[in-house]
Structure 1
Amino acid sequence: MIRAALLLSVFAAGPASAAVVHFCWRGANGYSMTGVMEFPDSLLGAGMITESDVTAFRITGYRDGVPIGSWDAMTREPDDTWYLRYFPQSWRFPTDGEVPGPFDQGWNADGTATDCGEGGFGFNAGNYAQDFCLSGAWIEESGVPPPTPFIAQAEPPADPSCRGEALLSRFPRP
């Protein structure tokens, strides 16, 4: 029932041909991230989508609610790390090795979370942690364990600390 309501809210926005998905990630020590992505609504029933399916994607990182950086995949540089895995039917990003390969997510940050460039921002989720890259440096204190659920939602997050109504860590893993 909830899944059906979420799908309907995606379509209720109008006749657009893109599914819009919002997310809010809560790291450790006051670090958090909000984001939004779009992909063809025809893929809502797919088993998994990847970066090649995404038509728009933007993330913003925060520390104690204050923006510390952002990244937009549509204006990325050719050497920016960009890989994404998303399960649209369950509204979640796979974590902790649920998909083949050593990394689940690399949004301007590879497995070392040090390649986001001077002044850059990125997010990495892999077999060691989910964490940030900021200005070319791994922000170890932002990290949470790899199996921490990472859930998407139909509505924008209530606030950048991810403490709004959709408490993502409460969402059950299938």
Structure 2
Amino acid sequence: MTRAFAFLLALTATKADAAAFYFCWEGENGYTMTGQMTLQQGALDLPLVTEDDVSAFRIAGYKDGILIGKWDQATRAPDDPWFLTFDPERLAFFTPDELGVGVSQAWNAGGMADDCGDPGFGFNLGNYAQDFCLNGEWIEESGMPPETPFLVSTVPVDPECRLYSPLS
């Protein structure tokens, strides 16, 4: 009976509830990134979600399917670049052109993508490219054009940007 009630409660969740999203980015030359983001309660009703509306955030970067680095909001240092803009209506991260800014995403990597620490990992979506920072170095060969969309989902994804199917 308790499981049935919990299932019905989950089905009736509203936009005011906290929400979890998974995402996957496909860069050039075998670089990919997976991530998970949990929005605070009520954030889904906002037209623009920022890092201030996120209660949990983590990313992991890969080269040819092999983990090369991770970063998360919970362990970030005070000087780590941390800037996020997300459109919950479209389930999409904003690009610089959409916002009229130079950088729309800075996840432990600022506009030059060379400030992620050593050791360190980060992702940047700026007006030049979407790309990685690894151990304090810009990984230019990972770059994609700034307007390139990437997968955002309500179910987990793997490093090859495939959705995990729920088990029955």
TM-score range, shorter chain: 0.7 to 0.9
RMSD, matched Cα = 2.1
Structure 1 residue ranges (4+ consecutive) displaced by more than 2 angstroms after TM superposition: none
Q: How many matched pairs?
A: 154
Q: Which has the larger radius of gyration?
A: 2
Deviation at 1:106, TM superposition (A): 0.1
Are 1:78 and 2:78 an aligned pair?
yes
- Cα deviation, 1:110-142, whole Å, max 9, x if unaligned, reads 010000010100000010000000000000000
The 3-state SS of whatever aligns with 1:61 is: strand
Residue in 2 aligned with 1:63? 63
Unaligned runs of 5+ in 1: 1-10, 167-174
Q: Is the 8 A contact 1:28 1:142 kept in 2?
A: yes
Q: Does 1:141 align with 2:141?
A: yes
Query: Residue 118 of structure 1 corresponds to which residue in structure 2?
Result: 118
**Structure 1 vs Structure 2: percent identity of aligned residues?**
53
TM-score (norm 2): 0.85
**Quick check: 2:84–2:105 contact (8 Å CA) kept in 1?**
yes
CA deviation digits over 1:145-173, x for unaligned, max 9? 1110123110011x2022x259xxxxxxx
Which position in structure 2 is the counterpart of 1:35? 35
**TM-score normalized by the length of structure 1:** 0.83
Structure 2: state its 5+ residue gaps: 1-9
Q: CA separation in 1, counterparts of 2:83 and 2:96?
A: 15
Alignment partner, residue 93 of structure 2: 93
1:30, distance to aligned residue in structure 2 (A) = 0.3
